[in-house]
Amino acid sequence: MRRSVAQARQTRAEIIERSLVLASVAGLDGLTIGRLAADLGMSKSGVLGHFGSKEALQVAVVEAAADLFDREVPGRARGADPGLPRLVALCAAWVDYHEHPPLPGGCLFTAAASEFDDREGPVRDTLAALAGVWLRDLRQHVRLAIGAGDLPANSDPDQILFELTGHILALHSALRLNRDPTAPDRARRAIARLLGSDT
């Protein structure tokens, strides 16, 4: 019994891992049970049996992408002091994540946000909730930086977050659509100006 449970968990993890790769290139809607089954040497019912529906698989993939992002971005900045040093480290890791993405299609979140922003349902809800957590964490360090005098006292944290997000979206577009190799350095300079740092 224990072995069968462990095998089921391992198979589920393999499905999600393959789905991450496929979804990063083809989008979450581009995930097809048939393609996954063929790639993994499984039946379609075998793949679906681990999730119950394609939508549940998509949610699981989004959650796995969040774990990957957490390792690659916040995880790399955790040694920096709270406030501006952590904010600068987070932004540097965020740019690096787009410049050297761990998935072949780049940032799954950025692509999926465009794919699901006008839809209702659990996939959009999961994307929005995870984005909210990320922005909440960034906002905390912006506020700490303002409190410490590292950013001007009249700074608007939400405006700073809006501009940071805009720089990252511009970076994503320049890299993925325009294949612009200068984009990461442009993003770093833009963020450094915004934060008044030497990023």
Q: Which residues of 82-105 are buried (b: 16+ CB within 10 A; e: fewer)?
A: ebbbbbbbbbbbbbebbbebbbeb
pLDDT in tens, 94-117: 999 999 999 999 999 888 988 998
Model confidence, pTM: 0.90
Q: For residue 171, which of 106, 76, 114, 83 has the smallest C-alpha distance?
A: 106
pLDDT in tens, 34-89: 888 888 888 888 888 888 899 999 999 999 999 999 999 999 999 999 999 999 99
Are 138 and 164 spatial neighbours (Cβ–Cβ below 8 Å)? yes
In the chain, the largest separation of any two C-alpha atoms, in whole Å, equals 61
59 residue type, one letter: V
Characterise 149 by phi-psi region: left (phi > 0), alpha (psi -120 to 50), beta (else): left
Q: Which helix (H) or strand (E) holds 97?
A: helix 84-99
196 residue type, one letter: G
